[in-house]
Amino acid sequence: MNAPVTNLRSLEPRPLYGIGTVARLTGLKSDTLRVWERRYGLGASHKSPTGRRQYTQSDLDHLQLVSALVKQGVRIGEIAASDRKTLEVLLEQQDHMSPARSLPPAKPRVVFLGADLCRWLDGHQGCISGVSALLARMSVDDAVASLNAEEACDMLVVHCPSLTMQQIRGVEALGERLGVRRTIVLYQFGNDQWLAELERMGHSAFQYPIEPSQLAFEIGRSQVEKETSQGVGNLSELMPAKPRMFNDAELRAAAEEKIVLDCECPRHLSELIKSLNEFETYSSACSVDNWKDAAIHASIYAYTCQARHLMEKALQSALEGRTLNVEVTP
């Protein structure tokens, strides 16, 4: 049995979204989000050094529940102070409303343990875009002594500069306490004996720093394995993508735009985005009959979504804030 935990320290949710993204994902206007934050305390739990609102996955999940209830006719003042479980119960009670259909699936909760690893994530946010990231800027020993999680987590990713038996036992104890299904250990120095022990325990080990694509793959693999066992057959349900910035009509209009450089960048970018849109749709429908194939397809889908989003940002920059003249089809 684990020793009692004293002086508990909570995990630190990592901000992932700006107010514009949250507005798109909730269907709410940015002004509405600001009013709710001012009147009811509903909003971003973090702010950047420049004062910009930064929303965590938990913030977004809560706002999606509130938004769904408000759209069903519930008054915001009646539910503003309610916790997530209460909101979920209320949503279930609404006529002709199913949470599974009205809201995207909850993203996996992944704990990242280690101060250096948490700093590394600052420069590699793409590999954690599909998860609710919880940061613990402390050593394994400190985490064993003080770390606590309010809810069970799906995965633990821990940085161990030098593997020792004490740290391996600490990692095992933390995994049990956090309720994770899988643990990934990132090490810099370790001998074959300790690596074999990690494998015997069912943990995965990779040298640090890990390739961002490898970490994204391993995280996606674990989630796919869980979801395929529950019968999920569509990757677009499993790994929700960033909303599209341009519809087909806007892309056609953008292709006709001329910019200061007098080049064909808008047209080429529009064509590239259209191709990525088509491949994104195609890859989201790929079969997930077994976890190995599904993990590969999940990685392809996730990177396609990221590539499309980056190209959309590039097109935004090329258009320099111009208003597109979109033809309205009668």
CATH of the domain at 75: 1.10.1660.10
Does residue 200 share a domain with residue 283? no
Residue 44: inside a domain, yes or no?
yes
Residue 115: inside a domain, yes or no?
yes
Residue 293: inside a domain, yes or no?
yes
Report the number of distinct structural domains present in the chain. Answer: 3
Q: What is the pLDDT of residues 30-79, one digit of tens each?
A: 999 999 999 999 989 888 888 889 998 888 889 999 998 998 889 999 99
CATH of the domain at 193: 3.40.50.2300
Residue 1: inside a domain, yes or no?
no
Does residue 197 share a domain with residue 172? yes
Q: What is the pLDDT of residues 150-193, one digit of tens each?
A: 778 999 999 999 999 999 999 999 999 999 989 999 999 999 99
Does residue 133 share a domain with residue 154? yes
Structure tokens at 263: 């080049």
pLDDT at residue number 122: 83
Residue 223: inside a domain, yes or no?
no
Does residue 268 share a domain with residue 200? no
pLDDT at residue number 220: 77
pLDDT at residue number 227: 60
pLDDT less than 50: residues of the chain: 1-8, 98-101, 232-240, 260, 291, 330
For residue 20, the enclosing domain spans: 14-102
Domain boundary among 73, 102, 131: 102
Residue 4: inside a domain, yes or no?
no
Does residue 44 share a domain with residue 72? yes
Does residue 75 share a domain with residue 28? yes
pLDDT at residue number 84: 83
pLDDT at residue number 225: 63
How many other CB atoms are there within 10 angstroms of residue 263's CB atom? 11
Residue 162: inside a domain, yes or no?
yes
Domain boundary among 70, 102, 134: 102
Domain boundary among 193, 210, 227: 210
Does residue 261 share a domain with residue 170? no
Residue 6: inside a domain, yes or no?
no
pLDDT at residue number 229: 55
**CA 123 – CA 174 distance, rounded (Å):** 26
Does residue 200 share a domain with residue 118? yes
Does residue 196 share a domain with residue 153? yes
Does residue 302 share a domain with residue 256? yes
Give the three-state DSSP class for 208: coil
State the burial class of residue 14 (Cβ atoms within 10 Å of its Cβ: 0-12, 13-18, 19+). buried
List the beta strands (DSSP E) in the chain: 9-10, 12-13, 46-47, 53-54, 109-113, 132-136, 147-148, 155-162, 182-189, 204-207
